[in-house]
Every structure is written in structure tokens, then in C-alpha cells.
């Protein structure tokens, strides 16, 4: 029998701190494929699922093991072909007339290890500072948010509720391999899956600003977020695009509506500086509370959400896309332009004098109204080209030149 908590206790920031500091400790070796730390993290998640009372959803208890294809082009320049990895799957069975339908919640628990053995192209560390890539935000934060959301939802009761499937994905950093395997071998049928919620980098909540991507994947999702946010009053940045470089896109490719919760990029992304002491633990508790309410409405509403098709962005032609080195502010809305949240050191933007808070209006001949305008510019121009950037700084219109890298 599935154990149920009598009441849904609020998320504990103290417990969140304990869990993230353990997952992002040097002893976990960056949770890279092939490390003992990745297996230890899987065991940790499975133990948490069991303590919460989730039913095992894998082929080996909570584990869904599989072997990485040694002939996969994605692994051609790595040491990981043929390695065994595993997703971790827990199930909270539904109730009443909705029990046959499914809501999936997921987060990837792997990271970049020591930034070697094939992770070099993902790591942003220089050779001089390379160390263990603990991935506290990416994605120990999302892993813990998944666990704590499961804890909250397991403590709630409803006479009619869809089944919750919680999946901690492996090998996301190698190309969403874990989620690709899951949709091919789902714990519950994909045709019964109503929606998927993904936590990826939710540990840097600042100014109560939370971005939720994928609102354009179903008609009802934006309104669901608004209703849940009446209680939390987060500064929500809703992004319609359901695609992106994380596990939710794999589900959307199977015509399943998705939501992606995240709290912005930052300078420590994919570096050995992404450590647990920089995580906003109270912020994660807020994200967990908010996401739990969103998931609960999606699981208990009698009506199904209405899938919407959203065109997949075309990949850049002619090789790798050029890079500017800005981190866009995905929360700001109502701007005519793209506000810069941060600038990475040593990049084209940094060398051109672009700063956090600047609002980019135009790159070369491309008018930039939002992040999609930035993407268009970076596919229009190639690495090595010098472009004029028009931007606002403190209300003043300015220009600079940048050589794309």
C-alpha cells in the first residue's frame, strides 16, 4: 500500500539545504557519467522517493537502467559510449475517474563531472581554473525541487486525481539522453500523459523572479500559472516557447504540453563555481510551493488541457552559431528590446562594453525586440564578423561594435 502523509507540510528550506549541499558536494564528483557520484545521487533520489511513499516506477525498483549507445554520434567525442546509466522513477497513483491519466514531473540529476572525458565542450571553465563541476544550480536545485514537490503532493488528498510520475533523468548534459530513453520506455503510457513539468536550474531566485517556459504548448497553462501565483506573488516571466535544451522539449516533441521552471542563467553556469553556498534555499521552497499548486490543479481539474502546436526553431545553418556572450533577462516584459541580465567575461559583449541592465535594440541589420531577435541575429551573422549593436543604457541610446565569437 502507498503511504500517505496526513497533511501536506510546507517545503522546508533547512531540508532543501541539506539535500542540495549533499548532491553538490565535491564527494559526488560533479555527478558526471562514469563517476561513483552519479550512482550515489541516484541512490539518494530513490531513497527519498521511498521515504515519501512513492511506488517504484522503474524496471529495477525505482531505477530504469540502460546502456549508452557506443555508436551514437552524440557520444563520438566522449568516453561514455557503452556506459550504464539510470533514470530514477517514482509513482504516486491517481484516484477515482482521473487515475488513468498522468502528469509527469521531471528534473535531470547529472552534471559535468570534472569537465573532462567528453564534457570539455560543455564546460565553460578555462584550463587554469578547471575543477569539479558540482552543478548546484544545474541541476541539484531542480532535483531537490522534484523531490520536495513529490513530498508536498504526496501529502494531499483528492477523490479524483491524475497519476503523478516523478522522473529524475540521467545524461541530460550529453543531449537529453535520459528523457529520450524514458519517452521510449515510459512508466505509464505517453498517450495517457496530460502534461510534463520540468525543473532545470531553479536555485537562483532573485527579486522573486521565476521564468516558466512552455505556456504556448496548451491553451490553459498561462491561466493555471496566474491562479497559482495569487498566493505566491512571484514576478513571473511566462515564455510561450516549449522547446529548448532541456528534458521538457523531448516530451513536447511527442505532442505533450510542457512547463519548464527556471530562475535564469548566471556567470557560474557550467563552471566549477556553481556551488551550493550560492543557492537561494528559501527561493527553492517558494518554487516548490508554487509548482506544487500548479501541478495539483493540472492533476485534479476534470478538463484536459488543450495541446497547441508551436513551430520548432530552425537550427543555424553553416556550422555553430555565433556567440555574443549575453545572458538575457527572461522575466522582464513590456520592453521594446532585450534586457541584458549578465555578461560573461571574455566574450564579444564584454569586449564591446555591454553591461547588465543594457537593453539591446539592434544587432547589425536585425531589430531585436526580445530573445528571439537575439537568436535571429546570431544565426544571421557568423563567428568573426563585426556588427554594430544599438542599445539603451539608463534611457540613453548608444552604439558599440562587437566581433562575434
Per-residue pLDDT of 110-152, as tens digits, reads 999 998 877 876 777 765 556 899 999 999 999 999 999 999 9
Per-residue pLDDT of 232-285, as tens digits, reads 999 999 999 998 889 999 999 999 999 999 998 888 888 899 999 999 999 999
To the nearest whole number, what is the mean pLDDT of the chain? 91
Q: 9-18, 219-228, 332-341, 374-383: which range is least confident on average?
A: 332-341
Total structural domains within the chain: 2
Residues 347 and 270 in one domain: no
Residues 100 and 205 in one domain: yes
Res. 85 pLDDT band, cuts 50 70 90? very high
Q: What is the pLDDT of residue 130?
A: 67
- How crowded is the C-beta side of 8, counted as CA atoms within 13 Å? 16
Strands 163-169 and 193-199: unpaired
Would you say the C-alpha torsion 184, 186, 192, 198 has a positive or negative sign? negative
**CATH number for the domain including 18?**
3.40.630.10
Question: What is the rounded average pLDDT of the residues 188-209?
Answer: 97
pTM: 0.83
pLDDT exceeds cutoff 50 at 4: no
Q: What is the pLDDT of residue 274?
A: 95
Q: What is the pLDDT of residue 320?
A: 58
CA distance 41 to 28: 7
Per cent of the chain over pLDDT 70 is 93
pLDDT exceeds cutoff 60 at 101: yes
Question: What is the rounded average pLDDT of the residues 84-106?
Answer: 99
Helix (H) or strand (E) segment spanning residue 327? strand 326-328
Residue 189 domain flag = yes
In the chain the first and final C-alpha atoms are separated, in Å, by 57
Residues 290 and 344 in one domain: no
Q: What is the pLDDT of residue 314?
A: 58
Per-residue pLDDT of 28-65, as tens digits, reads 999 999 999 999 999 999 999 999 999 999 999 999 99
Residue 312 domain flag = no
Q: Which of the 8 DSSP states describes residue 141?
A: I
Residues 238 and 350 in one domain: no
Residue 333 domain flag = yes
Residues 29 and 140 in one domain: yes
Q: What is the pLDDT of residue 8?
A: 64
Residues 138 and 282 in one domain: yes
Between 199 and 384, the more confident residue is 199
CA distance 156 to 313: 39
Q: What is the pLDDT of residue 399?
A: 95
CA distance 186 to 2: 21
Q: What is the pLDDT of residue 365?
A: 87
pLDDT exceeds cutoff 50 at 7: no
Q: What is the pLDDT of residue 6?
A: 35
CA distance 217 to 229: 19
Residues 289 and 334 in one domain: no
Question: What is the rounded average pLDDT of the residues 83-106?
Answer: 98
Residues 286 and 347 in one domain: no
Question: What is the rounded average pLDDT of the residues 376-381?
Answer: 83
**Which of residues 300, 335, 363 is at a domain's end?**
300
Q: What is the pLDDT of residue 308?
A: 97
Q: What is the pLDDT of residue 386?
A: 95
**For residue 132, what is its C-alpha cell?**
569539479
Per cent of the chain over pLDDT 90 is 71
CA distance 378 to 405: 10
Q: What is the pLDDT of residue 368?
A: 86
pLDDT exceeds cutoff 70 at 287: yes
CA 146 remoteness from chain centre: 11
Provide the domain limits for residue 238.
13-300
Q: What is the pLDDT of residue 330?
A: 64
Question: What is the rounded average pLDDT of the residues 88-104?
Answer: 99
Amino acid at each position: 500500500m502507498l503511504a500517505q502523509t496526513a497533511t501536506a507540510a510546507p517545503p522546508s528550506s533547512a531540508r532543501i539545504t541539506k539535500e542540495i549541499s549533499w548532491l553538490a558536494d565535491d564527494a559526488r564528483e560533479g555527478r558526471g557519467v562514469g563517476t561513483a557520484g552519479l550512482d550515489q545521487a541516484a541512490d539518494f533520489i530513490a531513497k527519498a522517493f521511498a521515504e515519501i511513499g512513492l511506488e517504484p516506477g522503474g524496471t529495477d525498483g525505482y531505477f530504469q537502467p540502460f546502456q549508452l549507445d557506443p555508436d551514437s554520434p552524440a557520444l563520438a567525442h566522449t568516453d561514455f559510449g557503452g556506459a550504464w546509466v539510470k533514470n530514477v522513477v517514482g509513482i504516486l497513483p491517481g484516484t477515482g475517474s482521473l487515475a488513468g491519466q498522468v502528469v509527469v514531473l521531471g528534473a535531470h540529476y547529472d552534471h559535468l563531472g570534472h569537465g573532462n572525458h567528453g564534457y570539455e565542450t560543455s564546460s565553460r571553465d578555462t584550463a587554469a581554473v578547471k575543477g569539479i563541476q558540482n552543478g548546484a544550480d544545474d541541476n541539484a536545485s531542480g532535483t531537490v525541487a522534484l523531490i520536495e514537490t513529490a513530498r508536498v503532493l504526496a501529502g494531499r488528498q483528492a477523490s479524483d486525481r491524475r497519476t503523478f510520475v516523478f522522473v529524475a533523468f540521467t545524461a541530460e548534459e550529453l543531449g537529453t539522453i535520459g528523457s529520450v530513453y524514458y519517452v521510449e520506455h515510459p512508466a505509464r503510457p505517453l498517450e495517457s500523459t496530460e502534461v510534463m513539468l520540468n525543473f532545470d536550474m531553479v536555485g537562483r531566485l532573485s527579486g522573486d523572479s521565476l521564468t516558466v517556459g512552455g505556456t504556448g504548448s496548451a491553451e490553459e497553462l498561462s491561466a493555471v500559472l496566474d491562479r497559482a501565483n495569487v498566493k505566491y506573488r512571484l514576478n513571473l516571466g511566462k515564455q510561450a516557447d516549449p522547446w529548448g535544451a532541456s528534458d521538457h522539449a523531448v516530451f513536447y516533441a511527442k505532442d505533450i504540453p510542457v512547463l519548464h521552471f527556471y530562475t535564469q542563467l548566471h556567470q557560474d553556469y557550467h563552471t566549477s563555481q556553481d556551488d551550493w553556498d550560492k543557492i537561494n534555499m528559501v527561493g527553492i521552497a517558494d518554487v516548490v510551493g508554487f509548482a506544487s499548486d500548479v501541478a495539483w490543479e493540472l492533476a485534479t481539474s476534470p478538463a484536459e488541457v488543450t495541446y497547441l502546436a508551436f513551430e520548432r526553431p530552425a537550427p543555424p545553418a553553416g556550422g555553430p552559431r555565433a556567440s555574443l556572450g549575453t545572458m538575457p533577462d527572461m522575466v522582464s516584459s513590456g520592453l521594446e528590446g532585450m534586457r541584458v541580465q549578465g555578461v560573461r567575461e571574455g566574450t564579444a559583449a564584454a569586449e564591446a562594453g555591454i553591461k547588465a541592465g543594457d537593453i539591446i535594440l539592434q544587432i547589425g541589420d536585425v531589430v531585436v525586440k526580445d530573445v528571439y531577435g537575439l537568436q535571429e541575429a546570431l544565426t544571421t551573422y557568423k563567428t568573426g564578423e563585426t556588427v554594430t549593436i544599438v542599445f539603451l543604457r539608463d534611457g540613453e541610446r548608444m552604439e558599440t561594435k562587437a566581433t562575434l565569437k
